[in-house]
Structure 1
Amino acid sequence: MVTRRWHGTSTRGSAARIITGIGALFAIIEVVYILLVVLGANAGNAFVQFIKSLAEPLALFFPGLFPIANPTLNVLVNYGLAAVFWLVVASLVARLVR
């Protein structure tokens, strides 16, 4: 027996997967930056600077949202919120697309 799918459903499902993947990628960038800061990576290293250059614009309005005196905890909280934000927003947009 051959099962046929409506072409539009397959396309929407693919678009939803791409959106979810992009949100996950953005969240991963934020988490990698958090780990580099928390683990004390050399801030002068080219890889650390590259990840930072990606993470800062993706963090949107979250850096400085909660002013915390401890710089490590500040990055953990504010960039962690940004990572969660990207996962939630990508999930909601993917559901709308489906």
Structure 2
Amino acid sequence: MTDHSAKTDGARGRAVAVVAGILGWTGLIFAVILAAHVLLTIGGANPENGITTFVAEWADRLALAFRDLFDPADAKLRVLVNYGLAALFWLVVRSLVVRLVRRLG
């Protein structure tokens, strides 16, 4: 292996690690936002509070089709199940995408 080839492989490895890290953190942040929404809702946080509003708006975007997957009568249970499943979904997607990026890199 030439010196140039070794440098290229090292740079590529670092780039793959950076991309995998960014994707991993992004997926984790998505799951944390959804979990925070569940905790704020179940805990009875003030829906007019800026933090609660911010988290709820982002959680609605990140919940995708899980937002209304189940429709129990209890609103808190509905948030727990639907947004909790969305959080698990993002953790699984995160794991698969990071693994794929590392494998292809």
TM-score by length of 1: 0.91
1:16-39 CA distance string (max 9 Å, x none): 111010000000000111000000
Say whether residues 1:30 and 2:71 are aligned partners: no
| Partner Cα separation in structure 1 for residue 13 and residue 50 of structure 2 | 43
Letter in 2 for 1:83: A
What runs of 5+ residues in structure 2 fail to find an aligned partner?
1-6
Q: 2:54 aligns with which of 39, 50, 56?
A: 50
Letter in 1 for 2:20: A
RMSD: 1.3
What runs of 5+ residues in structure 1 fail to find an aligned partner?
none
DSSP-derived class of the 2:68 partner: coil
Deviation at 1:92, TM superposition (A): 0.6
Give 2:75's aligned residue.
71
Q: 1:88 aligns with which of 92, 96, 99?
A: 92
DSSP-derived class of the 1:22 partner: helix
| Partner Cα separation in structure 2 for residue 57 and residue 6 of structure 1 | 37
Letter in 2 for 1:94: V
- Give percent identity, aligned residues only: 45
Deviation at 1:6, TM superposition (A): 2.1
| Partner Cα separation in structure 2 for residue 47 and residue 6 of structure 1 | 42
The list of structure 1 runs, each at least 4 consecutive aligned residues, that deviate by more than 6 angstroms after superposition, is none
Deviation at 1:61, TM superposition (A): 0.5
| Partner Cα separation in structure 1 for residue 10 and residue 47 of structure 2 | 51
